[in-house]
Amino acid sequence: MIHHHQQAYPESIDEQESIVTNILNGKAPNTLILTEHPPTYTLGTSAQESDVLTREVNGESIAVYSTGRGGEVTYHGPGQLICYALVDIQHEKDLHLHVQRLESLIINTLQDFDIQGVRDSRGIGVWVNGLKIAAVGVRCRKWITFHGVSLNISPNLQHFSGIVPCGMRDAPVTSMHQLGIKATRQEVEERIIHHAKILFDESIN
C-alpha cells in the first residue's frame, strides 16, 4: 500500500511503470497506490484531442497528458481519490473481471456512506442517479494491471466542463460532497483499503 498526499501525473506513471516491472520480476507484491493529482486532463487510447474543449477553467490552467490506459478523456484533481491497482492477474487472464472488481471496490465503499452506486450501460465506472461518481481506466502488461479508478469525493466539478468526459456529452458527473456526504479522504481511504483486501484476496499490499 502506497499513500501520496498529491503526485504530479507523470511521476505517478513512472512509479507505476517501475512497480509493474518489479511485480513481473517477482520483486514486488500486488500494490494499491492511493493518491491525488493536481488539476489534470488525461487522454486514454480512444480519446479524441477534440474532447479537450479548453485547458483553462475559471482562470485555472489544467495540464493535459496522453496516457496508455484504455478509455477516453478524464479529469483528475484535488478532492478526487485515485486508486491505482497494480495486480498480477496471470492466473485468470481476465481484464474485464479486473475492471468489475474496481467498480465493486467503489460500489462497496460508497455503500458504507449510504450512497447507492451502480454500473451503467453507458460505460464502465460507477454511477449514482445517472451521474458518474467514479471513472475506471486500466492498462495491462503481461497480465500485470496498472492505472485504476478515480472517485469524486469533493473535486471542483466545474473542471469537468473543460472536457467531454469519457466521450459522452450527456454524462454529467457528481461527487460524494455534492450528494451531501461530507466524508474526508481519510475516511474514504479506510473503507477502500478494507474492501480492497476482501476483493483482491488479501493479496494487495
Instruction: Catalogue the active-site residues.
Output: 166
Q: What are phi and psi of 121, to 5 degrees?
A: -65, -15
Instruction: State the angle between helix axes of 95-111 and 185-199 in degrees (0 to 180), rounded to the nearest 10.
Output: 130
Q: How much helix, strand and coil, in percent to the nearest 5, is found in the chain? A: 30, 30, 40
DSSP 8-state secondary structure symbol assigned to residue 175: -
Find the largest Cα–Cα distance for the chain.
48
CA-based nearest residue to 135, from 85, 88, 192, 82: 82
